[in-house]
Amino acid sequence: ESLGEEDERNVADLLVDQIEFCNVLLISKTDLITEKELDALKAILRSLNPDADIVPITQGGVPLEKVLNTGKFNFEHAQQAPGWLKELRGEHIPETEEYGIGSFAYHARRPFHPQKFHDLLNAEWFGKGLL
């Protein structure tokens, strides 16, 4: 998953960058792990970012007050983060380029059939969960 033989970075580096910089961490699918596993995960996340709020969630149920208008962003603190220093110096490499992440938009000549599209998204298929 690296970008070339000489490049040792991978998607894990991007994840750590995001964890270190964020204000709120959402841990999804907490209903699928034990309390002990959840505590271990929280400890790891806390070691990477002691200031972030950690919010365990299940079934995508995110309390909006935990992620919107939290007032947690601190510009002075953010300015000291290595990523921002690179930005200020004009050294930014977009994550899409740095980590090989991509996306695309599909434009159909006619709309998808709602039921067929629903069935496709809910069917068991290889790679499910990667959307």
Q: Provide the domain limits for residue 68.
A: 11-100
pTM summary value: 0.54
Mean pLDDT, residues 91-99 taken together: 66
Gap between the Cα atoms of 6 and 15, Å rounded: 20
Examine residue 53 and state whether it is found in any structural domain, yes or no.
Answer: yes
pLDDT, one tens digit per residue, over 1-39 is: 444 566 566 778 778 878 888 899 999 999 999 999 999
Examine residue 130 and state whether it is found in any structural domain, yes or no.
Answer: no
Q: Give how many domains the chain has, as a whole number.
A: 1
Examine residue 71 and state whether it is found in any structural domain, yes or no.
Answer: yes
pLDDT, one tens digit per residue, over 32-81 is: 999 999 999 999 999 888 889 999 999 888 888 888 888 888 777 766 66
